[in-house]
Amino acid sequence: MRFSRRNLLKVGGVVAGAAALGVSAHRVGATVSGPGNGVSWPAGDALPTFAVPQHFDVADLTKIDGDTQAMLTTLQGIVNRVQPRLYWYLSTDGSDQAWLKTSGVPYTLASDPWSLLAKYRGEVRGVVIYDPDVPDSVNVATILAGIEGAVIASPPVAAKLTAAPFGLSVIHDFRGAFTSKLDAYTWALANLWPRCTHRALGSISGGTLRNVPGVQWNTLAKQTTQLHNASNRGTYTFDLSPFLGGAAVYVRFQDSFPQQGWGPSVSHVTVVADGTTIADFQPTTAGEEPYMFDADSSSVASGGWRYADHTTYFIYRFAPPAGTKSLTIKIVMWNQYLVTATGTTPEVSVAFPFLRDMIVATRSFVCWLDPVVPAESGLFGEILGKYPPTTPMLGWFVGGHEPQGVTLCSQHGVEVVAADIFTNATALGGVRAPVLGGQAPAPTPALGNKVYVTFTYSDGDNAQFDEHRLWELWGDPKRGAVPANWSIDPLLVDLAPEILSYYQRTATANDHLVSGPSGAGYTYPGKWPANLLDQYTQMTGRYLRRTGMGVIYALNGDNNSGLSMSTAVATSYRQNVNPLGILYNWNSSCQAAVVAGVPVVTQIGISDVGQGQSALTSAVAGWDGQSPLFLAVGVLAWRMGPTQLAQLVGGLGAQFEVVRGDVFFRLFRKYRGLH
């Protein structure tokens, strides 16, 4: 479970395609020779490894613009697929510097990133220009750049690249090529996918929006009392005429009570300019796309409306005809709305830079399609269906639509590697480090009539979490004060073995690494086609044996539904992984059972100390003390760290005994008579 965070070109026809866009027609569908001569990708390995780096040229990219960052990360992919030599500081939390230090690779820090482009200019075949007006053209350009050995660039960056001293030629210019994201990805699927490596798929945003300082938002309407029963549902009309005069008018929807989380729901929008309708659409349909300026992390409902709870929002952009005197918007809306408007462009789009080195280096296909919006999810499913079972999808999902995205991937036999802000994959993927095939055992106490509790930090399946947030939590001075399980992605043994090795070799006796959901890559095993599931659990077994993990934290897309793991799923895990036990889902209560010979215990999810105290008090309310009670608790790692966990454990009564996950399941097995 993740709680982070956190647009077929039809030029004279569907595939006027390669020739119309200047892509070499004779190469469309050409055989893919392999990702690069420094990339090793043995059969059976989920992800590739890179050649051993001898020296890194390093530069700090955190203070340069996003478009230049994206150009340089594609340069990194080109250079590092031969041998890792470029390493970038892209994160502002210090983790990039930390992993560089732990790698032990000698390095030189360059004061000017452009000097490294000059140094490696001879390895770049040219420039692929994307269209700033269609952010998804950034992804299409990235695909072509990987195939051709080029860098991507915005028009201003391209002007610098093609001039002296670089003098790069333009391989292709996508400006004006696409009208929407569906156009872009349908064309790319028909014309570029056959030339890509088909062992991995990327899913990252083409562009990211950054706020323009000083923009004034004017309030159109605000629900001033807390309300979440849709009793104020109605059709609201607002005058946008005061905001005319620029190229467009922007309307933003937010939650008027962000602490409560029942923000505005919008099911229809109509905009009229001087008596003529210029926009009329229902959210979640293709008709919404031309007007969506920034969806942020808003959500959509199957009933056909968009909503924004807590601190999320969404912004529509309407461009009336020149000379428009009157502009009105009519909205079908309900719940806790805050509607504001401006005539000033509030955000500017820049290319999203993260993970592009990996996509380019492996010549992978990349897209950014919403698993909730029908037109987009249909194309997303078509793309996923082209890949063989156990293909990893690196990245994340539009709007943070985790359950829908993971379900769609699982239904196609594709596991997710959450890596949307993973940095330096092509550098860290070459650093060799010892990965242990086991963990130091903890003593198992005699079984008694106690409440045995095991705590597991969430989100370790998330590779960028392992690289950034977990690194922060690992430095908490209270780490190791109490037994705890740390979920982590076993695929790090390929992606970044130094990161996994670091956590293994610096773990205390109270730190226990367990596999993140739901094994070798994030997936819902119960959503897999029955005839493919064994392939996933077989791969999981191989990776858990390589990384010394005996306990699995699994999610199945049905949280709060009790112990719902099927016999078929448990059997597949038992036959192909044989785990000590499975910590299951993220629930409001804890249930323990043996399913097909596998101990399965549902987790009570908590996000703070108070919630943990309340949950544990409730869980033992009916316990008579005449037999052991086993409780598994999931700890939301974005909000709780070792200091908070130690505080929670310190307040527990004498009837509680907190143990690591391996000890927990050994005791449970003994209690249930399992070997």
Q: How many beta carbons lie within 10 A of that of residue 167, not counting itself?
A: 9
- Count: domains in the chain: 3
Strands (E), 161-281: 170-173, 201-203, 207-211, 218-222, 234-239, 249-255, 265-273, 276-281
Give dist(CA 384, CA 403) in Å, integer. 16
Specify the pLDDT at position 35: 55
Q: Residue 303 — very low, low, confident or very high, per pLDDT cuts 50/70/90? A: confident
- Mean per-residue pLDDT, 644-652: 97
Token duo for residue 445: 């106490």
- Mean per-residue pLDDT, 344-366: 94
* Nearest partner of 124 among 77, 89, 87, judged by Cα: 77
Last residue of a domain, one of 431, 460, 482: 431
Specify the pLDDT at position 385: 98
> Per residue in 528-577, pLDDT tens?
999 999 999 999 999 999 999 999 999 998 766 778 899 999 999 999 99
Residue 36 lies in a domain: no
Specify the pLDDT at position 438: 95
**Residue range(s) defining the domain that contains residue 330:** 218-345
Strand duo 347-351 + 249-255: pairing: unpaired
Token duo for residue 571: 């059997």
Q: Residue 209 — very low, low, confident or very high, per pLDDT cuts 50/70/90? A: confident
Residue 626 lies in a domain: yes
> Which amino acid, one-letter code, is at 305?
W
Under 8 Å between Cβ of 6 and 399: no
- Mean per-residue pLDDT, 198-211: 91
Specify the pLDDT at position 242: 97
Q: Domain check: are 498 and 584 in the same one?
A: yes
Residue 1 has pLDDT above 80, yes or no: no
Specify the pLDDT at position 562: 76
Spell out the residues 6+ positions from residue 412 whose beta carbon is closer than 8 angstroms to its own.
Answer: 381, 384, 385, 387
* Nearest partner of 655 among 606, 610, 621, judged by Cα: 621
**Comparison of pLDDT for 282 and 303, the residue scoring more:** 282
Specify the pLDDT at position 395: 97
Q: Domain check: are 69 and 108 in the same one?
A: yes
- Mean per-residue pLDDT, 266-271: 98
Q: Residue 348 — very low, low, confident or very high, per pLDDT cuts 50/70/90? A: confident
Residue 32 has pLDDT above 60, yes or no: no
Q: Domain check: are 604 and 662 in the same one?
A: yes
Give dist(CA 510, CA 613) in Å, integer. 21
Last residue of a domain, one of 370, 397, 431: 431
Under 8 Å between Cβ of 339 and 252: yes
Give dist(CA 315, CA 307) in Å, integer. 11
Residue 25 has pLDDT above 50, yes or no: no
> Which amino acid, one-letter code, is at 637?
A
Q: Is 48 helix (H, G, I), strand (E, B) or coil?
A: coil
Specify the pLDDT at position 72: 98
Widest pairwise Cα distance in the chain: 83
Give dist(CA 37, CA 33) in Å, integer. 10
Q: Residue 12 — very low, low, confident or very high, per pLDDT cuts 50/70/90? A: very low
- Mean per-residue pLDDT, 368-378: 93
From 27-36, 182-191, 396-405, the region with the lowest mean pLDDT: 27-36
* pLDDT mean across residues, the chain: 92
Under 8 Å between Cβ of 334 and 232: yes
> Per residue in 382-400, pLDDT tens?
999 999 999 999 999 998 8
Q: Domain check: are 556 and 614 in the same one?
A: yes
Q: Domain check: are 540 and 639 in the same one?
A: yes
Q: Domain check: are 339 and 354 in the same one?
A: no
Q: How many beta carbons lie within 10 A of that of residue 15, not counting itself?
A: 17
Residue 309 has pLDDT above 50, yes or no: yes
- Mean per-residue pLDDT, 638-651: 96
Q: Domain check: are 575 and 648 in the same one?
A: yes
Residue 147 lies in a domain: yes
Specify the pLDDT at position 23: 38
Q: Domain check: are 568 and 627 in the same one?
A: yes
Q: Domain check: are 179 and 286 in the same one?
A: no
Give dist(CA 232, CA 220) in Å, integer. 16
Assign residue 534 the CATH number of its domain: 3.20.20.490
Assign residue 239 the CATH number of its domain: 2.60.290
Residue 438 lies in a domain: no
Specify the pLDDT at position 563: 86
Residue 374 lies in a domain: yes
Residue 38 lies in a domain: no
Residue 497 has pLDDT above 80, yes or no: yes
- Mean per-residue pLDDT, 12-18: 29
Strands (E), 17-96: 39-40, 49-50, 56-60, 86-89
> Per residue in 160-178, pLDDT tens?
999 999 999 999 999 999 9
Three-state secondary structure string covering 309-335: CCCCEEEEEECCCCCCCCEEEEEEEEC
Last residue of a domain, one of 345, 362, 378: 345
**Comparison of pLDDT for 298 and 78, the residue scoring more:** 78
On the question of a cis peptide bond just before residue 660, with omega within 30 degrees of 0, the verdict is no
- Mean per-residue pLDDT, 425-431: 98
Residue 669 has pLDDT above 70, yes or no: yes
Specify the pLDDT at position 22: 35
Give pTM, 2 decimals. 0.83
Under 8 Å between Cβ of 492 and 463: yes
Q: Domain check: are 519 and 413 in the same one?
A: no
Specify the pLDDT at position 36: 57
Residue 327 lies in a domain: yes
Residue 472 has pLDDT above 50, yes or no: yes
Q: Domain check: are 581 and 656 in the same one?
A: yes
> Per residue in 487-496, pLDDT tens?
999 999 999 9
Token duo for residue 253: 């929807």
Q: What percent of the chain has pLDDT over 90?
A: 86
Under 8 Å between Cβ of 230 and 64: no
Residue 581 has pLDDT above 70, yes or no: yes
Q: What percent of the chain has pLDDT over 70?
A: 94
Under 8 Å between Cβ of 144 and 150: yes
Residue 14 has pLDDT above 50, yes or no: no
> Which amino acid, one-letter code, is at 585?
N
* Nearest partner of 76 among 154, 32, 142, judged by Cα: 142
- For 323, list phi and psi in degrees, rounded to 5: 85, 5
Residue 141 lies in a domain: yes
Q: Domain check: are 358 and 222 in the same one?
A: no
- 105-to-109, 158, 455 alpha-carbon distances in Å: 12, 32, 36
Q: What is the DSSP string of 493-513?
A: HHH-HHHHHHHHHH--TTEEE
> Per residue in 145-159, pLDDT tens?
999 999 999 999 999
